[in-house]
Amino acid sequence: MSAFERQTLSNGVRVLTAPMPQAQSVTCSLMLAAGSRYETPETNGIAHFAEHMFFKGTERRPTARQIAGEIDAIGGEFNAFTGKEYTGYYVKCAAEHRDVALDVLVDMIRHSRFEAEEVEREKGVIVEEMNMYFDTPRDFIGGLYDELLYGDQPLGWDIIGRKETVRGATRDTFLDYIGRWYKPERLVVGLGGKIDGALIPRLEELLGDLDGRAQAGPQPVELSQNGGARVKLRTKPSDQAHICLGVRSYPLEHPDRYALQLLATVLGGGMSSRLFSEVRERRGLAYYVFGVNHSYTDAGSLYSQAGVDINRIDEAVETIVRELRRVAEEPIPADELEKARSFAKGRFVLQLESPQGLIMFGLRREVLEGHAAEPDEVLAGLDAVTAEDLQRVATDVVGRDGLNLALIGPFEDADPFEKLLAG
């Protein structure tokens, strides 16, 4: 039995549902194939800023308090998130209040007022969010790593934007961005949980008159020829250094996506992974350390992130480099592969247990790849990975290109770190 059902409104808006009849709640979401990657240098940060402004008032609900009040009145939770390639808005509530949730969500993205006074007030909020982000190295290090990998193009820019572009935003800035990208072909409505009553007629009433075509998507990422080790250092007084160290990998829909996922799991998934065991448990170099693969539609990276002792930073870098190279040079034992496979499958199944987790998984696939993979398809993909696949993928991604290191800490010179990567 399929987990997802897919329908299309008369204007091309896709509707993805994940029925869970045993649930008493429903998660209603609107997700768009539009995010910070769709910005220009002059509007960097506007996708995230717009996410804030959608909660500030519409024609029918003029204030943020009124919007929040309607969701509070049904005991619901609502929020939003902005990524580089997608943006989402959702409400979780008791299933009987589904139509209220959908009405509020659609009203927000279609009829927000973007009043000048509210825009100016929210600029201060965004700037303070930026200050918090830049003052929190554990959060900021990921953005620095993307800047190292992708440079001065949208994938290399921070989602939160730059202070000068945020301060320069006007009502027309928001209307232009939304007018370009918030179009039927880029919108997917998702509902997960208990879904009773006629849904499509209601959505036709809310969204059926949305029209227009979006402009062509963003330019493909341009990847510089690496060839050697690269380091990006952000000097900051601190008692702990934060690092991201990794290699370029594959885009989202690469045939080896599941082998790459298991490789990341072997390296840094869970408290018995190689990186956790070696960096934290055996050597005591870090409080947190993990390995992950993060892919966009046309690029990706396999990397480790850690917060490490500033006095033992060299040992930490050398240890992570050694573990990266070891997976490429030595076959991964069968029992370790099976443990990684079980870990990945188990975490995936846990993610799908809730209506929100299930529909968000399906929406991300639908928005970015054009179809929502069934959970059984993912589990089968993980089951099909062999030890030979892991070895081949590890050799390719670790061996074909240089290492990349982003680093935040009380250091002045990047040269010693470049030598560590090359050693």
The angle at the Cα of 370, spanning 365 to 376, to the nearest 5 degrees, equals: 50
DSSP code of residue 407:
E
Give the span between the Cα atoms of 84 and 59, in whole angstroms.
Answer: 29
DSSP code of residue 282:
I
Give the span between the Cα atoms of 355 and 4, in whole angstroms.
Answer: 12
Active site annotation includes 51:
yes
200-237 b/e (C-beta count within 10 Å ≥ 16 → b)? eeebbebbeebeeebeeebeebeeeeeeebbbbbbebe
- Pairing status of strand 187-193 against strand 14-19: parallel
Give the span between the Cα atoms of 33 and 14, in whole angstroms.
Answer: 12
Alpha carbon of residue 282 to chain centroid: 31
The pair of structure tokens assigned to 269 is: 């998934």
Residue among 39, 42, 51, 315 flagged as catalytic: 51
In angstroms, the Cα distances linking 356 to 113, 211, 375 are: 29, 28, 15
Cite the active site residues. 51
